Amino acid sequence: MGHGGGHSCCNKQKVKRGLWSPEEDEKLINYITSHGHGCWSSVPKLAGLQRCGKSCRLRWINYLRPDLKRGSFSAQEATLIVDLHRILGNRWAQIAKHLPGRTDNEVKNFWNSSIKKKLLAHSHLSSHHLTTTFPNPKTTNIHVPLTGDHQYYDGLFDASYPNVISPYQPHMIHNQDHLLQTPPPAISQPLLINLDNTNDPTPNLPPLPPSFIVNSSSVFDPTMESLNYYDHINILKPENYDIILSQNSDHNHPIIPFKLGVQANSFELPTNITQPIINCHGLNTSASSQIEYLETFVTDFSSSSSSPPSSLVLPPFMGSKVTSIM
């Protein structure tokens, strides 16, 4: 419940702190539903509350808003949080935007109580085989997460975090090098195939580094209704990828993403998707075979600049979208 002490926004009048009573809730709900909140600093006075505006805002946003979902997080939501956290870090508000009816506070609490504990416990079991790195003679190293049943619980803490490609925390990826069996050469970027982010409209995000592969299934979970949830996380939008790996041989109904080591969720993308789909159908799902496959692909593709390796099944529009190899 925090602690006492003044706050700049409510020094002038004495204000109540701590838990909200049902009566206070009712006053706030009545006021906002009939007037809107307008300027939060004026809400308490107009609503007849002995609270500071900031407290009213927080109460409304985190608890009284009618569109809140409440209740326990579903498995899908938990998975999504883990995936988004890999990419966004502790950007709870950003994460919460992709969980309808959930607040940043709720997501943060859920992470700090439930997920973090599980992840920590699990990382102790499997942190020694989180990641591999292999040299690519024509480019640089590729970091590929080795995944298995504990995909979500691997290496999310301490030096082992993250075990996935995370454009916002490359230093942490580097910190993981001590876990590798073979020390890699100096790495400037852990990611490989560039995506064209020149039109990235997302504000407040650093320029996106090259990204390699959509490495998640849950972010495209069909229960999340549509890809529109990912409007603000452009790196997770399939159209922002140069290449999508698919386990579906039917390119008219591509299924993404190809997730290393695990079955991709069955989820149909819109049929007007324009980026190349690499057919991974039938590929052995062991991590080592996938890495070998990817290495071959990347090497061949980079050496032929714009022509895809002939051994791959690629749609005709495959070609020049790979803009650079880091």
Partner DNA sequence: AAGAATTTCAACCGCCAGGAG
Partner DNA sequence: ACTCCTGGCGGTTGAAATTCT
Contact positions toward DNA, by CB under 7 A?
A: 1-9, 16-20, 37-42, 51, 53-55, 57-59, 62-63, 90-94, 104-106, 108-110, 112-114, 117
User: In this complex, which beta carbon is closest to DNA, that of residue 38 or of residue 135?
Assistant: 38
Q: Are 218 and 79 in contact (CB under 8 A)?
A: yes
Nearest distance in Å: CB 235, DNA: 16
Nearest distance in Å: CB 5, DNA: 4
User: In this complex, which beta carbon is closest to DNA, that of residue 171 or of residue 178?
Assistant: 171
Q: Token digits for 172?
A: 């942490």
Instruction: Return contacts of 19-22, CB within 8 angstroms, 24+ apart.
Output: 20/59, 20/63
User: In this complex, which beta carbon is closest to DNA, that of residue 20 or of residue 301?
Assistant: 20
Nearest distance in Å: CB 99, DNA: 13
- Whole-number Å distance between alpha carbons of 11 and 105: 25
Q: Token digits for 277?
A: 């789909």
- Whole-number Å distance between alpha carbons of 75 and 93: 20
Burial of 278 (0-12, 13-18, 19+ CB in 10 A): buried
Nearest distance in Å: CB 95, DNA: 8
User: In this complex, which beta carbon is closest to DNA, that of residue 25 or of residue 196?
Assistant: 25
Nearest distance in Å: CB 223, DNA: 21
User: In this complex, which beta carbon is closest to DNA, that of residue 183 or of residue 203?
Assistant: 203
- Number of neighbouring beta carbons within 10 Å of residue 201: 9
- Whole-number Å distance between alpha carbons of 306 and 303: 9
